[in-house]
Amino acid sequence: MILTGSQIKKEVEKGRIIIDPFSEEDIETNSYDFHIDNVLYTYKEDVLDPTKDNELVEVVIPSQGLTLSPKKIYIGKTVETIGSKYFVPIIKGRSSTGRLGIFVNITADLIDLGSIQKPTLTLHVVLPVKIYPNTKIGQVTFWVAKGIEK
């Protein structure tokens, strides 16, 4: 069962969901919008080798924006710390972000129950797209966990 936006707010107020910083303006019908931090990483090499440590290069998103290239993967974090010991968070891109051709999270959209962190985002764009620091880029939903955790 997915939580509604109003229930997400109640659970944040009770301390059962962590979203920090939290703004009521970012509550949606059944999700909460999150923002991208101003630091991204991209791979130095054009060809990646899963058997090696692929070197990353830090890229800071300036206030005037950064144009993302289709031939790169960008790794970043959310501005918000997100998580819960009671509900399972799932992150995904916003529909407005998708219409720009931005994939916000290539894999690993499920955040483990009890994990409280700034989720890692893996960005890829279909066409060159300009983004800015603190861009509202994705949303998190919270789901009721059922069963006994080992």
Mapped onto helix, strand or coil, the DSSP state of residue 112 is coil
Is residue 105, in this structure, part of any structural domain at all?
yes
Is residue 38, in this structure, part of any structural domain at all?
yes
Q: Where are the beta strands (DSSP E) in 44-113?
A: 56-60, 66-68, 74-78, 81-83, 87-93, 102-103
How far is the C-alpha of 20 from the C-alpha of 100, rounded, in Å? 27
What pLDDT score was predicted for residue 107?
74
The label of the residue with tokens 């501005």 reads 79
Phi-psi region of 12 (alpha: psi -120 to 50; beta: other; left: phi over 0): alpha
Residue 74 CB contacts under 8 Å (≥ 6 apart), including other chains: 40, 41, 42, 59, 68, 121, 122, 123, 124
For 96, the domain range is: 5-144
Is residue 93, in this structure, part of any structural domain at all?
yes
What pLDDT score was predicted for residue 149?
67
**89 and 139 Cβ atoms separated by less than 8 Å:** no
How far is the C-alpha of 63 from the C-alpha of 74, rounded, in Å? 18
What pLDDT score was predicted for residue 108?
79
**52 and 69 Cβ atoms separated by less than 8 Å:** no
What pLDDT score was predicted for residue 123?
95
Residue 90 CB contacts under 8 Å (≥ 6 apart), including other chains: 109, 110, 111, 140, 141, 142, 143
Peptide bond between residue 119 and the one before it cis (omega within 30 degrees of 0)? no
Is residue 97, in this structure, part of any structural domain at all?
yes
Is residue 149, in this structure, part of any structural domain at all?
no
The domain total for the chain is: 1
What pLDDT score was predicted for residue 79?
98
Q: Which of 82, 95, 99 is nearest to 142 (CA)?
A: 82
| Rounded average pLDDT per 10-residue block, the chain, 150 residues | 98 98 98 97 94 96 97 96 96 92 86 94 96 95 85
Global pTM exceeds 0.85:
yes
Is residue 77, in this structure, part of any structural domain at all?
yes
Is residue 133, in this structure, part of any structural domain at all?
yes
Is residue 150, in this structure, part of any structural domain at all?
no
- Domain with 123 in it: what CATH number? 2.70.40.10
